[in-house]
Amino acid sequence: MKNTPFHKLPPRAIRVWQLGSSIGNLFFFGIPAVYAAVFGMESFHFWIVVTSSVIIALIWVFSVAVLPYLSWKNWRYAVDAKEIDLKRGVLIKNRTLIPLSRVQHVDTRQGPLLRWYNLASVTISTAATTHEIPALDEVIADRVRDQISKYARLAEEDV
């Protein structure tokens, strides 16, 4: 098994994910409103609107109150001279090993919410896809980016 220690994301990532999820999932409250506008609120349609509104509200609360915490609790990353190891997932656990010889470029990104909390994401691009380490402290994100870039150059020289 691997000896490299895994790093956790900062707890501020929970707040960023909660805000992002609460804003992003507000769209779903429009579904019962559109249904009510199209079909009206008479007896049968009233219950469909109420039931769908309650279900959407429960899913919204779960996605804001529970899911960000569980995601944060299960997110881990490790970087060493040979590979990048990403562990994540709540119900389905994913573990991704990215060989540094396959890394094409690495960069940091900040959206408005990440910038508000002084966080940044590190994106790692390979020929096949792009991977992301979300919501790291800005200083640590820059350090991880530079470390991956340095290791990738060393790995490229070995090939």
- State pLDDT tens for residues 99-111: 998 999 999 999 9
94 by DSSP, 3-state: which? strand
For 18-74, list the strands marked E by DSSP. Answer: none
How high is the pLDDT of residue 8? Answer: 95
Identify whether residues 63 and 115 lie together within a single domain.
no
- Per-residue model confidence as pLDDT tens digits over 52-98: 999 999 999 999 999 999 999 999 999 998 899 999 999 999 999 99
Question: Is 68 in contact with 18 (CB distance < 8 Å)?
Answer: yes
Residues 82 and 149 grouped into a single domain = yes
Which residues, including other chains, have CB under 8 Å from residue 55's CB and lie 6 or more apart?
none
Are residues 154 and 85 part of one domain?
yes
Are the CB atoms for 130 and 124 separated by under 8 Å? yes
pLDDT surpasses 80 at 26: yes
39 inside domain: yes
Task: Give CA–CA dist 91/104, Å, rounded.
Answer: 31
% of the chain exceeding 90 in pLDDT: 76
3-state SS class at 70: helix
Residue 93: DSSP 8-state = -
pLDDT value of residue 114 = 95
Q: Is the pLDDT of residue 156 over 90?
A: no
Q: How far is CA 89 from CA 57, 70, 101, 119, in A?
A: 23, 8, 26, 21
| Distance (Å, whole) CA 78 – CA 76 | 7
> Using CB atoms within 10 A of its CB, is residue 3 exposed (0-12), middle (13-18) or buried (19+)?
exposed
pLDDT band at 40 (very low <50, low <70, confident <90, very high): confident
In a domain, residue 22? The reply is yes
8 Å CB contact between 137 and 119: yes
What pLDDT sits at residue 154? 76
User: What is the percent of the chain with per-residue pLDDT over 70, rounded to a whole number?
Assistant: 96
15 pLDDT above the threshold of 70? yes
Question: Which residues span the domain enclosing 99?
Answer: 76-158
User: Do the domain assignments include residue 107?
Assistant: yes
* Amino acid in position 147: Q
Residue 1 lies in a domain: no
Residues 25 and 86 in one domain: no
